[in-house]
Amino acid sequence: MPEQNEPEKRPERGDERYRQELEELQKVDFALVELSLYLDTHPNDIQAIQQFNQLAHKRAQLAHAFELRYGPLMQFGHSFTRYPWQWKDTPWPWQV
Amino acid sequence: MHDGQWREWHPYVSPCDPCPPIKTKWYVVPPNQFIPFQPMNLPQFPLDEALRRGTLWPALYSPYPSKQKTKGG
Amino acid sequence: MWIYEKKLQYPVKVSKCDPRMARYLIEQYGGADGELSAALRYLNQRYSIPDKVIGLLTDIGTEEFAHLEMIATMVYKLTKDATPEMLEAAGLGPHFVNHDNALFYESAGGVPWTATYIQAKGDPIADLYEDIAAEEKARATYQWLIDMTDDVDIQDSLKFLREREIVHSMRFKEAVEILKADREQKKVF
């Protein structure tokens, strides 16, 4: 297999930068999971709701940037796709 | 084991026990056992630390050191 | 409905080829107090629990599937390139002759997953106490698994999962309090 694009080093799924950017998303998403469970039992905590909405906004931005670079995070129309269909692209989460 | 989450107890040792006795046994009592209902506005970990520790709130954090690692395994 | 997200909840790393540990981790994949049991238990109880705590059961049940995927990732990485000889040396010979290196919902002792692991009594207090017990039992299993490996990267993921059990247990306890009295209006200090 001829090695092409060697000097350019485009971001690629599974590489170090991919893992770093994924972790930035995982940090925000984890806080959102924690706040979701907390709000399920504290539905009147207005400060937690504000923090939840701020993080949800940040999450949308991070996920959008991540998907532009590495392809869709979600299926069934929650993410856009390029041609050809990107969903099948490796690595899958357990393969990274 | 000095974070206040551990309790020790001393099992009865019989002179007829075949294995060398473990004189002190430990168990952990995680902090959720002492919080009936989480108060609002508890201090939070920064987000990167929260992910690493598995919780957003220091009040719910329970460390668990591996017994293998302390043995130097 | 559910929508899959193509990422793990937590960055799982495995630094040592150790099929023996995969054999033990399977307990949290298809064991009584494992992540499959947890997810199915909570998502099934939703249909008969009072409306106030349906949201909580839905969210925790959903998070459990993310934990199931983390366990699967560890098992996958620990057995991916293991030869039949290595699997046999790790005590996985009986698994190999039936499943090759496929994952299977079974306990560390090789017992296939069964619906009898999960309960649904239709009584909200009984169901939530089962959930609290399940979280504490899973926490204990994670402790013994952490004790069984010297791979600090696996320990790291298992410590994350152990802490999640503590948080889930906390929330289920709060759900009991909510059902005992209308605590939503009340600030508790």
C96-126 pLDDT, tens digit per residue, is: 999 998 999 999 999 999 999 998 999 999 9
> Distances from the Cα of C152 to the Cαs of A26, C33, C142, in angstroms?
20, 23, 14
Within an 8 Å CB–CB cutoff, is residue A38 touching chain C?
Answer: yes
Between CA A86 and CA A63 the distance in angstroms is 16
Which of A72, A26, A82, A17 lies closest to C4, judged by CA?
A72
Q: Are C143 and B60 a contacting pair at CB < 8 A?
A: no
Mean pLDDT of C77-94: 93
Domain span at C24: 19-180
Between CA A67 and CA A49 the distance in angstroms is 26
- Give catalytic status of residue C174 as yes or no: no
Residue C186 lies in a domain: no
Low-confidence ranges of chain A (pLDDT < 50): none
Residues of C engaging B, defined by a Cβ cutoff of 8 Å: 10, 139, 142-143, 146-150, 152, 155-156, 159-164, 166-167, 169-170, 173-174, 177, 183, 187-189
Return the structure tokens found at A33.
């999971």
- pLDDT over 90 at C185, yes or no: no
Which 8-state DSSP code applies to residue B34? G
A35-51 b/e with 16+ CB inside 10 Å = b? Answer: bbbbbbbbeebeebeeb
- Give catalytic status of residue C95 as yes or no: no
Distance from CA of A38 to the nearest CA of C (A): 7
- Give catalytic status of residue C67 as yes or no: yes
Question: Model ipTM?
Answer: 0.93
Mean pLDDT of C67-71: 98
Question: Which residues on adjacent β-strands are paired with residue B7?
Answer: B27
Which of A58, A80, A55 lies closest to A69, judged by CA?
A80
- Give catalytic status of residue C135 as yes or no: yes
**Burial class of residue C181, CB neighbours in 10 A (0-12, 13-18, 19+):** exposed
pTM above 0.90, yes or no: yes
Q: Which of C150, C161, C177 sits opposite B73 (nearest CB)?
A: C150
Q: Which of C4, C59, C73 sits opposite A40 (nearest CB)?
A: C59
Return the residue in B1, B25, B26, B37 with the most chain C beta carbons within 10 A, the one to mutate for interface testing.
B37
Residue C32 lies in a domain: yes
Residue C129: CA count within 13 A, CB half-sphere: 7
How many beta-carbon pairs under 8 angstroms link A with C? 69
Q: Give the pLDDT band (50/70/90) at residue B58.
A: very high
- pLDDT over 90 at B9, yes or no: yes
DSSP B47-70: HHHHHHHT-S-GGG------HHHH
Mean pLDDT of C128-154: 97
Q: What's the number of domains chain C is made of?
A: 1
Q: Are C160 and B52 a contacting pair at CB < 8 A?
A: yes
Query: Could you tell me how many residues make up chain B?
Result: 73
C167: chain A residues, CB-CB within 8 Å: 34, 37
Query: Could you tell me how many residues make up chain C?
Result: 189
Q: Are B40 and A48 a contacting pair at CB < 8 A?
A: yes
- Among the options C27, C106, C130, C135, which is catalytic? C135
Residue C100 lies in a domain: yes
In one-letter notation, the amino acid at residue C112 is P
Which 8-state DSSP code applies to residue B20? P
Helix, strand and coil content of chain B, in percent to the nearest 5, comes to 25, 10, 65
Mean pLDDT of B24-36: 96
Q: Are C29 and C71 in contact (CB under 8 A)?
A: yes
> Chains that contact A by 3+ CB pairs under 8 Å?
B, C
Residue A4 pLDDT: 57
C125-133, Cβ contacts within 8 angstroms, sequence gap of 24 or more: C125/C176, C125/C179, C127/C45, C127/C48, C127/C49, C128/C49, C128/C53, C128/C172, C128/C175, C128/C176, C128/C179, C129/C176, C130/C41, C131/C41, C131/C42, C131/C45, C131/C168, C131/C172, C132/C169, C132/C172, C132/C173, C132/C176
Within an 8 Å CB–CB cutoff, is residue B67 touching chain C?
Answer: yes
Query: pLDDT tens digits, residue range B41-54?
Result: 999 999 999 999 99
CATH of the domain at C126: 1.20.1260.10
- Give catalytic status of residue C168 as yes or no: yes
For chain A, what are the domain ranges? Answer: 30-72
Mean pLDDT of C31-55: 97
